[in-house]
Amino acid sequence: MNKIIRNLKFLIGRTINNSRFLFHINYLRSEKDKLIINPDKDICIEGFPRSGNSYFVMLLRRCNPEIKIANHIHSPVQLIKAINLGIPAVMLIRKP
């Protein structure tokens, strides 16, 4: 995949993930099924890329192997939807 297409896919993904109006498009994308927030998830973990997202998810799964986690969308809308659904949410923050 060339650089222009990769950058275009990234830009479109960021636009969809950061828009309250477009976020529902993620529910149509099959590769996002396990990551996106829905009522059957136990917790939502989100943060800016390179904030320890994978490490935190790995630690949580090690302690609770059967937990259903919504994560790695890197979107504030994901956290807002989790709060609206009454699902515990963790926002990871790092020093810039």
Q: Domain locations in the chain? A: 3-92
- Residue 32: pLDDT over 70: no
Q: Whole-angstrom Cα distance, residue 70 to residue 32?
A: 10
Strand pairing partners for 10? Answer: none
Q: Whole-angstrom Cα distance, residue 30 to residue 6?
A: 19
Backbone angles phi, psi at 89, to 5 degrees: -130, 140
Question: What percentage of residues in the chain have a pLDDT greater than 70?
Answer: 86
Q: Whole-angstrom Cα distance, residue 75 to residue 25?
A: 13
- Residue 29: pLDDT over 80: no
